[in-house]
């Protein structure tokens, strides 16, 4: 049974296409107001799962419920959806497209137009409100698409690859926009490949591969379960013969690599501290600088997904 | 948001996407301009002088009537006594042609190269020959008119009490049917563009997160049919305006408008059948368009021509409206829109026939509409691939 704080409850969901088991026995729960990130390689089944959450397709088995919503269902006006396949009416003016989408989400046309104007202003596109969508750059079209998905202030925003195709500045802009949604009380479920952005944004991540769950939890939980421990990065200008071998033999050390000339990167086992090791390093190395790094989501993703990847992955949407 | 409000919102959007008032107005002005241009050119052509030619006549004495006048032709009868002399004159370009009249009254025209005036010879001589024959028969003008008059017949239908032909009702019904077909064929293009274009632009997935596939397809059908109706009415109004306004400008008389129709019940029935038929064919085309990924390369685009088949039946059956096959086709939903009006106008039909046709047509429109929704819902995510016929039929059966 979902707890009272569950916004979305997915239980034992399966989705099969002709020869592909795209989503296999997925269960997850999303809390209200959190940012929940779906991760996974291409074809992992993320978009298929999101389409089922949106209601475009139905699960073959299992159930999807929105416990806090009336009747356990999410209505069109309560949902905002940014699909992976982006598309807008290229031959129509921005303001009309946004007003239309807002109307279909249940807003009165005048209210939808007001919201559209506010979003265009926020995205610095208000002077082009009457321009046709096709005249905008790809990045600006993506901004309009995002506005179309959320201008009606949905209770849940489902964003499929919101950062793909964006330059770094626009990625930062979208990062801010998604954070604003959460601040306004919207629950955000997104899929993305940009690990560094997800790490900054998501309250919880859920990694899929071949339609199945391979990793889930908050960042601290994931680090505790799958992390490699901290990394010790040393810049040295001299080292005694055999010093690196001595370090590699230390029980806290998982590996020692040289990412650049004069730099040593020492990966520690989970839960190990750098104190003893640092003293050992100082004996054989002339250390110029020292810093430590937490394992990133990218590191853990590569470790988990890479370890599980077969030679050929089945196709899934 | 209620389903009807969804449908209305989509229909309004589609209507405004495809009805461009400025372009419609420009189209009307272009049509009027072209009408004026053709009218002016036509008037110039009608007043153009024919290039005069001299034609030698050999054997005119064999005719029982004098040489008739032919526009642009001057008969040369002096000095050229036989065929050889006429041929020599033709070779020397002294004359433009030679007319050799045989003793039995038939003729042969000789020319060096193809000439338009030769086509005017036979009608002129036929008319002159008939006039000569009538005068030899010594009959009065009244007798002559009686000989030439067609058989006059008046049909009175005792069961309905109607006398004479249905006259203007027939004309207005034909106009209505013609407009219905124009709406169909002009609307199919925008229906295909509206549905396949939206799939190609990847808008459908976002749309289906907001509305049901059935609402989406219903809104499309309503909005695009509305756009086609407006476009057709606009064009018809422009043509009517041109027909009424332009002839007086070029000195021709006014085109008389037929009197208002007398059989309003018949017209209402035909209007109902036309409306239902339009709805059914739009639903059918929407279902077809929902299975097409790229209209530029899909062989299914040829399906646009399917609604032309019933129209062809209607034309064939105009003079065989009493046939059993005409009755069957007037009831069968895929052909009734075109065939039933023909039967209603040309022959007496049992009272139940039009109503059975209307019920079946309405049912077919409903089924096609539901099938379009189901097919669209199932095929919407098939980008880059068209469903097979078997898949399409399986989805349609769910309707």
Provide the 10 A C-beta neighbour count for residue A117: 16
Q: pLDDT value at position A315? A: 43
Kindly tell me if the per-residue pLDDT of B176 is higher than 70. Answer: yes
Q: Which residues of A touch B210 (CB under 8 A)?
A: 76, 81, 101, 104-105
A85 half-sphere exposure, CB direction, 13 A CA radius: 21
Please state the domain extents for chain B. 53-148, 172-397
- Judged by CB atoms within 8 Å, which residues 60-79 of B form the interface with A? none
Please state the domain extents for chain A. 8-224, 228-294
- Judged by CB atoms within 8 Å, which residues 102-141 of A form the interface with B? 103-106
Q: pLDDT value at position A4? A: 58
Indicate the pLDDT class of residue A204, thresholds 50, 70 and 90.
very high
- Judged by CB atoms within 8 Å, which residues 188-247 of B form the interface with A? 198, 201-211
Q: Quote the minimal CA–CA distance from B247 to chain A in Å.
A: 40
Q: What mean pLDDT is reported for chain A? A: 87
Q: How much is the average pLDDT of B31-52?
A: 76
Which tens digit of pLDDT belongs to each residue from B202-247? 788 888 889 988 999 999 999 999 999 888 888 888 888 888 877 7
Q: pLDDT value at position A107? A: 93
Closest CB to A55: pick one of B202, B204, B209. B209
Q: Please check whether residue A297 is in contact with residue A205, taking contact to mean a CB–CB distance below 8 angstroms.
A: yes
Q: Which residues of B touch A76 (CB under 8 A)?
A: 1, 209-211
Tell me, yes or no, if B9 comes closer than 8 A to chain A by beta carbon.
yes
Q: Please check whether residue A145 is in contact with residue A137, taking contact to mean a CB–CB distance below 8 angstroms.
A: no
Of A125-139, A247-261, A266-280, B143-157, where does mean pLDDT reach its minimum? B143-157
Tell me, yes or no, if B382 comes closer than 8 A to chain A by beta carbon.
no
Q: pLDDT value at position B36? A: 77
Closest CB to A104: pick one of B6, B198, B205. B6
Q: pLDDT value at position B300? A: 67
Q: pLDDT value at position A185? A: 92
Residue A295: CB partners within 8 Å, gap ≥ 6? Answer: A223, A227, A228, A229, A230, A231
Tell me, yes or no, if A290 comes closer than 8 A to chain B by beta carbon.
no
Most confident of A7-16, A218-227, A296-305: A7-16
Q: Quote the minimal CA–CA distance from A273 to chain B in Å.
A: 50
More reliable by pLDDT, B377 or A202: A202
Point out which residues pair with A9 in neighbouring strands.
A29, A65
Point out which residues pair with A291 in neighbouring strands.
A233
Of A302-306, A313-317, B332-336, where does mean pLDDT reach its minimum? A313-317
Q: Which CATH class is domain A8-224?
A: alpha beta
Q: Residue holding tokens 């779906």?
A: A38
Kindly tell me if the per-residue pLDDT of B18 is higher than 80. Answer: yes
A308: closest CA among A205, A213, A224?
A213
CB contact under 8 A, B17 and A79: no
The CATH architecture one would assign to domain A228-294 is: 2-Layer Sandwich (3.30)
Q: Which CATH class is domain B53-148?
A: alpha beta
Of A262-266, B7-11, B387-391, where does mean pLDDT reach its minimum? B387-391
More reliable by pLDDT, B163 or B394: B394
Which tens digit of pLDDT belongs to each residue from B95-123? 999 999 888 878 899 998 888 888 888 99
Q: pLDDT value at position A1? A: 44
In this structure, what are the phi and psi dihedrals at residue B316, rounded to the nearest 5 degrees? -65, -35
A117: closest CA among A91, A95, A132?
A95
Tell me, yes or no, if A89 comes closer than 8 A to chain B by beta carbon.
yes
To 10 degrees, the CA torsion angle through B234, B236, B237, B242? 130
Q: pLDDT value at position A80? A: 94
Kindly tell me if the per-residue pLDDT of B133 is higher than 80. Answer: yes
| CA separation, residue A30 to residues A39, A162, A186, A217, A300 (Å) | 15, 19, 12, 11, 22
Point out which residues pair with A80 in neighbouring strands.
A157
> What tokens does A5 get?
């704080």
Kindly tell me if the per-residue pLDDT of B368 is higher than 70. Answer: yes
Mutation choice for B interface testing from A56, A81, A109 by most B CBs within 10 A: A56
Which tens digit of pLDDT belongs to each residue from B282-308? 988 888 887 777 766 666 667 777 777
What ipTM score was computed for the predicted complex, to two decimals? 0.77
């Amino acid at each position: 049974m979902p707890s009272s704080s569950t916004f979305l409850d997915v239980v034992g969901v399966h989705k099969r296409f002709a020869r592909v088991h795209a989503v296999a026995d997925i269960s997850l729960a999303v809390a209200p107001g959190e940012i929940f990130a779906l991760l996974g390689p291409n074809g992992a089944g993320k978009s298929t799962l999101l389409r089922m959450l949106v209601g475009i397709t139905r699960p073959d088995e299992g159930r999807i419920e929105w416990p806090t919503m009336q009747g356990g269902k999410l209505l069109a006006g309560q949902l905002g959806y940014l699909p992976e396949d982006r598309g807008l009416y290229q031959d129509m003016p921005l303001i009309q497209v946004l007003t239309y989408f807002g109307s279909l989400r249940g807003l009165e046309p005048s209210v939808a137009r007001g919201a559209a104007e506010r979003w265009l202003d926020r995205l610095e596109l208000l002077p082009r409100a009457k321009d046709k969508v096709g005249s905008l750059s790809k990045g600006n079209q993506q901004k309009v698409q995002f506005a179309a998905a959320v201008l009606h202030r949905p209770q849940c925003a489902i964003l499929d690859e919101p950062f793909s195709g964006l330059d770094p500045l626009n990625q930062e802009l979208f990062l801010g926009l998604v954070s604003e949604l959460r601040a306004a009380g919207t629950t955000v479920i997104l899929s993305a490949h940009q690990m560094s952005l997800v790490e900054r944004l998501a309250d919880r991540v859920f990694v899929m591969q071949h339609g199945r769950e391979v990793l889930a939890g908050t960042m601290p939980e994931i680090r505790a379960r799958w992390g490699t421990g901290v990394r010790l990065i040393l810049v040295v200008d001299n080292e005694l013969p055999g010093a690196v071998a001595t370090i590699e033999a230390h029980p806290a050390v998982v590996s020692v690599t040289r990412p650049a000339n004069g730099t040593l990167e020492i990966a520690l086992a989970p839960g190990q501290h750098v104190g003893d090791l640092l003293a050992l390093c100082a004996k054989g190395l002339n250390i110029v600088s020292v810093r430590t790094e937490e394992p990133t989501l990218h590191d853990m993703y590569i470790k988990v997904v890479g370890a599980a990847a077969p030679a050929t992955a089945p196709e899934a949407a | 948001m209620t389903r009807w409000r969804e449908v209305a919102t989509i229909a309004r959007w589609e209507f405004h996407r495809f009805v461009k008032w400025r372009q419609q107005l420009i189209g009307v002005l272009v049509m009027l301009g072209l009408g004026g241009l053709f009218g002016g050119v036509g008037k110039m052509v009608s007043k153009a002088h024919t290039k005069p030619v001299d034609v030698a006549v050999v054997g005119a004495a064999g005719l029982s009537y004098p040489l008739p006048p032919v526009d642009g032709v001057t008969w040369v009868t002096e000095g050229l006594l036989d065929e050889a002399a006429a041929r020599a004159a033709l070779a020397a370009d002294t004359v433009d042609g030679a007319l050799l009249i045989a003793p039995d009254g038939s003729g042969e025209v000789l020319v060096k190269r193809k000439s338009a005036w030769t086509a005017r010879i036979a009608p002129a001589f036929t008319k002159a020959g008939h006039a000569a024959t009538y005068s030899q028969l010594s009959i009065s003008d009244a007798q002559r008119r009686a000989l030439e008059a067609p058989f006059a017949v008046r049909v009175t239908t005792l069961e309905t009490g109607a006398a004479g032909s249905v006259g203007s009702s027939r004309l207005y019904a034909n106009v209505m049917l013609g407009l219905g077909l124009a709406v169909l064929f002009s609307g199919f293009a925008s229906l295909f563009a509206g549905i396949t274009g939206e799939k190609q632009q990847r808008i459908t997935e976002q749309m289906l997160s907001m509305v049901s596939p059935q609402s989406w397809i219903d809104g499309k059908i309503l909005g695009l049919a509305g756009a086609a109706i407006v476009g057709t009415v606009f064009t018809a109004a422009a043509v009517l305006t041109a027909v009424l306004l332009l002839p007086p400008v070029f000195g021709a008389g006014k085109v008389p408008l037929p009197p208002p129709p007398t059989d309003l019940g018949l017209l209402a029935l035909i209007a109902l059948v036309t409306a239902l038929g339009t709805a059914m064919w739009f639903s059918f085309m929407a279902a077809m368009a929902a299975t097409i990924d790229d209209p530029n390369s899909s062989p299914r685009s040829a399906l646009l021509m399917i609604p032309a088949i019933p129209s062809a039946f209607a034309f064939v059956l105009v003079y065989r409206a009493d046939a059993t096959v005409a009755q069957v086709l007037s009831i069968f939903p895929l052909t009734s829109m075109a065939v039933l009006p023909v039967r209603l106008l040309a022959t007496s039909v049992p009272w139940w026939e039009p109503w059975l046709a209307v019920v079946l047509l309405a049912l077919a429109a409903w089924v096609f509409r539901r099938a379009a929704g189901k097919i669209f819902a199932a095929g919407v995510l098939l980008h880059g691939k068209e469903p097979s016929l078997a898949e399409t039929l399986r989805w349609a059966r769910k309707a």
